[in-house]
Amino acid sequence: MGRTRIWTGLTSLFSFFLVVVIIGMNCMMSYSGTINSALGIATSKVVNGKDADAGDTEYFKSEYGELNAENLQKLIADTYKQSVTEEEEGAVLLKNDNNALPLTADETSVTLFGHAVAQPLYKAASAGSKGYKGEHNIDLYSAFANAGFQINDALYDAYAGSATTRGTGAYDFVSGTSSIWSMGEEDISFYTEDLRASWSDNYNDVAIVMLAREGGEGMELAQQTPDEGISQLALTQKEKDLLQMIKDSKKFDKTIVLLNSGWAMEMEWLDKYDIDACLWIGAPGQRGFEGVANILKGEANPSGRLTDTYAVNSMSAPALVNGSFNNQAWTNLDEVLAASTVEEGDLSYYNVQAEGIYIGYKYYETRYEDVVLGQGNAASKPGSSTGQVWNYADEVRYPFGYGLSYTTFEQTLDSVEVGEDTITVTATVTNTGNKAGKSVVEVYAQTPYGAYEKENLVEKSSIQLLDFGKTGMLEPGASETLTFECDKYLLASYDYVKEKGYILSEGDYYISIGEHAHDALNHILAAKGAVGMTDIDGTAADGDAGKAYRFHESFDNTKYKLSAYTGIEVTNQFDDCDINYWVDGAVTYLSRNDWEATYPTPVQVAANAEMIELLNGFYYEKPEDAPSIDAYIQGDNQQIPLVAMYGLDYDDPQWETYLNQYTIEELASLTADNFGTAEVASTGKPAVIAGDGPDGPGGTFNKDKYGDDRNDTCFPCELILASTFNKDLMLRRGELMGEEAMYLGMAQVWMPGANLHRTPFSGRNFEYYSEDAIMTYLCTIPEVVGIESKGVHAGPKHLVGNDQENNREGISCFFTEQAFREGALRGFEGALAKAGAQTVMQGFNRLGLVWCSVSEALTTDITVNEWGFVGQQETDAVAKGTGYKADYLTALSIGTDTFCLDFAGASSRAIAGAIKEQNDGYLLGKLREATHDYLYTVANSSVMNGYSTDSKVVSVTPWWQPAMYTAIGVFAILSLLSLFMLIQTERKNIIKTEKED
């Protein structure tokens, strides 16, 4: 009987393992793309014919020459150098009393304060490079030590050994929440007498305090922290205690604060605690701290400028009334959910963007001008942080475009020439100080706000960025003249009420330069003859009319009536994204015509039956006149490889012949993007890998090919790049990331991030450029051009309106078409229409009631028809394959091409199944269009390097697949063997028992 137990147990055991490997293999096959990517396995290879003359198959050339180990090292060195330069030029000096910075040669003995010095924020949780995690990362301590600072190790080691941890978004099994929420600062009791003694006699030349703020993908910053109930962007009590302790010690000659944050903080505390200087350093990536050390030592002169307004009170942004954590749920939510066919979170919330165009400085500066000019009830209480009359100095600490230098500059507006399509501005910068440095020239404009605009709800910001540029390194006394060719189109306003198109308003226009947006506005006000202006600290300011230029334009509703990119008429596409379209009078949008009467309030509405139907999605129905699937040729293999399509126009008839080679299943297999797609060997389509940014493509180099398996470089966060105000650096970042992508074998990279900092709390502000749409527009262009120049396709994300992380999946965004076109859409317009990005990733959110990826207005009317976009449009991650994001058929039918992170190929099965079951030739046509869009980008990418029309794409089976099949076979045999032995043993036992009986 003993043997029976052994075989029973072994059969159970082997059966368990068999189940594990069978179900595990099934799962692994679903995630095969991810596994192959993680293991660095290419599932196809190129085999060239022996006799054919392949010619030059290097369609896109690396600037470093052949892709090899030696040249990779040169590229890596350049990315590290670029990272340091970006940090040096992007960090913003906010305060520098008595020239506390740079530190002198004698000021090298320092104590680093703040837990963040031991837990720096290199980047917040998101996609992109993981280079900051490896041995090639340089942390704050190392950067400072390498720069020659003597660091108080006793305190640093205490921080490093402390259990205190800043909330990182990692899942916490103890609390059961998705983030251990913690500001990560030490309690004052942490600083024991022994620790305090460590800086009593030594390491007290300078106290360097680093404060960090962290959000991330899916993690909005808190408007009310769980512990103190204050804004996460305000100074916490522990941070106050720390600064007070340093001040009270009276040991330090200087106190320097570093803001390690990708978000604009509240800074009213900066005038307390005897702080001498403050430098915002963003999230510096894996090499940026070297740049920070260089700035402190004076080896680099800071020249960064803020791309966000630093409000005194981060809650004062009108966008927060209904945005971020103040989203509303439908007042009849129970009814909505009862009628819902998708998941609860997918349709419960909405954000009525009652702020209209007034985001960031466009709010604060416009209201300021109206206060100065005494118009629009601007000085009323609504929106005031003090509860008193609205006063600029009470609301803004640092305006957009602000930033100090170690030297001083004088800027003059030399000339402005207003042409038909461009405005040519020249400005001269002279270094009037005693240190070499770079300076930023910010060109601003004001357009008229008159009776027509008031009557037709055309809102105007009192100041808007028009262009920017940066000088080279100017020695003391040296000058440089910069010339800007500004696009007049950026002065047009979208009139969604009367003209339903862009207009140039009638009246006086102003062009000005300034140290920042507020400065430029004061110059314009001076040119207007206004009085009562104030500087950012509330002191009286005169402005300089000489830095402003006035010209007059007549009303023009024709100049921009047609798209500059395609010639199609530009007209309203988003009427149903105004909540008033659905619920009459639901919202009054903020208007400078009357700030008091229109300041936003929470908008609460119920969803009616028609709205609920739209919220549920799944709109596609086979058209009555849909052809049969036989209308298209399928599987007609002409032995035409994809590389034969390289360089052909999108509309070349050869594409149809090429697509005819695909079966329906093969076409559908390409809709499921898993950071790349598998090969289709029969049509010469290789396996393709995609990267995901925006601070690096995200991958590891192939050691076998290039002798190095480190991660691609984690550059400083995109916000730092924008803050350089240096288009050359933006272009170069794009080029270098394109080069990295070539080494990583990527056809495309999902970057840059082009959403807006609609509020200071959005979890991903660190990886978007700015609160300002034009700044975003101007930044995307050079970066995208740089990436695309390498045969790697830039895919800006997330089109569009994905401006917050709270409720990001499925939230309904309501807005005016003016705000949308001049705001959220503008950055993508720059990337797609101006810079030529050939891929784009859509947003999780809804435009009105409709998911971005099923919005025909977005995917077809705007992106393709108005902007002339040719290429691949992809959803954001549909990984779960459930809820509103599973609406594959509608998405495909209106122009969406591929589905991001569709691990298991749910979209492919759904689409192929629907086409065949319904004999739906219309949808098959759409599938062919989607495949055409996608393969057009692949064919014209650097992954085609090495392929000739003589080449064959050969499938390569990843090693783990035979390994798993072997395991299945082994355990199947063991299970059957042990089962057989069990049966045999039992039979013998029965015979034995019968004999005994």
The nearer residue to other proteins, 212 or 359, going by C-beta atoms, is 212
The nearer residue to other proteins, 13 or 312, going by C-beta atoms, is 13
> What is the number of alpha carbons within 13 Å of residue 409 lying toward its C-beta?
31
In whole angstroms, the minimum distance from the beta carbon of 884 to other proteins comes to 13
Q: Are 46 and 745 in contact (CB under 8 A)?
A: no
In whole angstroms, the minimum distance from the beta carbon of 345 to other proteins comes to 10
Q: Are 24 and 17 in contact (CB under 8 A)?
A: no
In whole angstroms, the minimum distance from the beta carbon of 828 to other proteins comes to 21
The nearer residue to other proteins, 206 or 886, going by C-beta atoms, is 886
Residue from 48, 146, 177, 434 in contact with other proteins (CB under 8 A): 177
**With binding defined as CB under 8 A, does residue 991 bind other proteins?**
no
Residue 201, SS3? coil
The nearer residue to other proteins, 343 or 535, going by C-beta atoms, is 343
Q: Say if residue 318 is preceded by a cis peptide, omega within 30 of 0.
A: no
Q: Are 159 and 150 in contact (CB under 8 A)?
A: no
In whole angstroms, the minimum distance from the beta carbon of 16 to other proteins comes to 5
The nearer residue to other proteins, 797 or 834, going by C-beta atoms, is 797
In whole angstroms, the minimum distance from the beta carbon of 12 to other proteins comes to 4
* Torsions phi, psi for 349 (to 5 deg): -115, 155
In whole angstroms, the minimum distance from the beta carbon of 181 to other proteins comes to 13
- x-marked contacts with other proteins along 8-37 as a string, rule CB under 8 A: xxxxxx-xx--xx--xx-xx---x------
Per DSSP, the residues of 812-841 read EEE--HHHIIIIITHHHIIIIIIS---EEE
Q: In what order do the strands lie in the sheet with 109-113?
A: 92-96, 277-280, 254-261, 206-213, 109-113, 150-151
Count of Cβ atoms closer than 10 Å to residue 135 Cβ:
5
In whole angstroms, the minimum distance from the beta carbon of 7 to other proteins comes to 8
Number of residues interacting with other proteins: please give it, by CB under 8 A.
44
The nearer residue to other proteins, 67 or 982, going by C-beta atoms, is 982
In whole angstroms, the minimum distance from the beta carbon of 344 to other proteins comes to 10
> Tokens 């001083």, residue?
408
The nearer residue to other proteins, 572 or 762, going by C-beta atoms, is 762
Q: Are 332 and 606 in contact (CB under 8 A)?
A: yes
In whole angstroms, the minimum distance from the beta carbon of 319 to other proteins comes to 23
Q: Are strands 688-692 and 676-677 parallel, antiparallel or unpaired?
A: antiparallel
Q: Which two tokens stand for residue 301?
A: 């002169």
In whole angstroms, the minimum distance from the beta carbon of 783 to other proteins comes to 24
The nearer residue to other proteins, 178 or 601, going by C-beta atoms, is 178
**With binding defined as CB under 8 A, does residue 982 bind other proteins?**
yes
Q: Which residues contact 880 (CB under 8 A, 6 or more apart)?
A: none
Count of Cβ atoms closer than 10 Å to residue 152 Cβ:
22
Say how far apart CA 871 and CA 869 lie, in whole Å: 6
Number of H helices, E strands in the chain: 29, 33
- x-marked contacts with other proteins along 208-247 as a string, rule CB under 8 A: --------xxxx----------------------------
In whole angstroms, the minimum distance from the beta carbon of 72 to other proteins comes to 27
Count of Cβ atoms closer than 10 Å to residue 78 Cβ:
17
Query: Which one, of 63, 89, 38, 75, lies nearest residue 712 by Cα?
Result: 75
The angle that helices 921-939 and 906-918 make with each other, rounded to 10 degrees, is 140
Residue from 176, 229, 529, 653 in contact with other proteins (CB under 8 A): 176
| 794 DSSP β-pair partners | 749
Return the residues of window 339-378 that contact other proteins according to CB under 8 A.
343
- x-marked contacts with other proteins along 144-173 as a string, rule CB under 8 A: ------------------------xxxx-x
Say how far apart CA 266 and CA 345 lie, in whole Å: 32
The nearer residue to other proteins, 145 or 968, going by C-beta atoms, is 968
In whole angstroms, the minimum distance from the beta carbon of 10 to other proteins comes to 8
- x-marked contacts with other proteins along 119-138 as a string, rule CB under 8 A: ------xx------------
In whole angstroms, the minimum distance from the beta carbon of 219 to other proteins comes to 8
In whole angstroms, the minimum distance from the beta carbon of 707 to other proteins comes to 28
The nearer residue to other proteins, 235 or 342, going by C-beta atoms, is 342
Q: Which two tokens stand for residue 710?
A: 């480190």
The nearer residue to other proteins, 97 or 217, going by C-beta atoms, is 217
In whole angstroms, the minimum distance from the beta carbon of 898 to other proteins comes to 17
In whole angstroms, the minimum distance from the beta carbon of 859 to other proteins comes to 22
Residue 481, SS3? strand
Q: Are 149 and 202 in contact (CB under 8 A)?
A: no
Residue type, 299: E
Under DSSP, the state recorded for 764 is T
The nearer residue to other proteins, 633 or 983, going by C-beta atoms, is 983
Report the b/e string of 515-525 with b at 16+ CB within 10 A: bbbbbbbbbbb
The nearer residue to other proteins, 383 or 617, going by C-beta atoms, is 617
In whole angstroms, the minimum distance from the beta carbon of 55 to other proteins comes to 43
The nearer residue to other proteins, 601 or 882, going by C-beta atoms, is 882
Return the residues of window 611-630 that contact other proteins according to CB under 8 A.
none
> What is the number of alpha carbons within 13 Å of residue 72 lying toward its C-beta?
22
Binding range to other proteins, per CB under 8 A, among 308-316, 612-620, 845-853, 979-987: 979-987
Say how far apart CA 551 and CA 420 lie, in whole Å: 13
The nearer residue to other proteins, 143 or 342, going by C-beta atoms, is 342
Residue from 3, 4, 145, 251 in contact with other proteins (CB under 8 A): 4
Query: Which one, of 512, 491, 518, lies nearest residue 502 by Cα?
Result: 491
The nearer residue to other proteins, 431 or 975, going by C-beta atoms, is 975
Termini Cα distance of the chain: 16
Count of Cβ atoms closer than 10 Å to residue 966 Cβ:
11
Say how far apart CA 659 and CA 662 lie, in whole Å: 6
Q: Are 307 and 723 in contact (CB under 8 A)?
A: yes
Helices (H), 635-764: 654-659, 664-669, 703-706, 718-723, 727-743
* Torsions phi, psi for 691 (to 5 deg): -105, 175
Q: Which residues contact 331 (CB under 8 A, 6 or more apart)?
A: 604, 605, 606
Return the residues of window 865-904 that contact other proteins according to CB under 8 A.
877, 879-880, 882, 901, 903
Residue from 165, 178, 432, 637 in contact with other proteins (CB under 8 A): 178
The nearer residue to other proteins, 168 or 608, going by C-beta atoms, is 168
The nearer residue to other proteins, 99 or 989, going by C-beta atoms, is 989
Largest CA distance in the chain: 121
In whole angstroms, the minimum distance from the beta carbon of 879 to other proteins comes to 4
**With binding defined as CB under 8 A, does residue 601 bind other proteins?**
no
Q: Are strands 493-495 and 676-677 parallel, antiparallel or unpaired?
A: unpaired
Return the residues of window 895-954 that contact other proteins according to CB under 8 A.
901, 903
* Chain contacts with other proteins (rule: CB under 8 A): 1, 4-13, 15-16, 19-20, 23-24, 26-27, 31, 125-126, 168-171, 173, 176-178, 216-219, 343, 877, 879-880, 882, 901, 903, 979, 982, 986
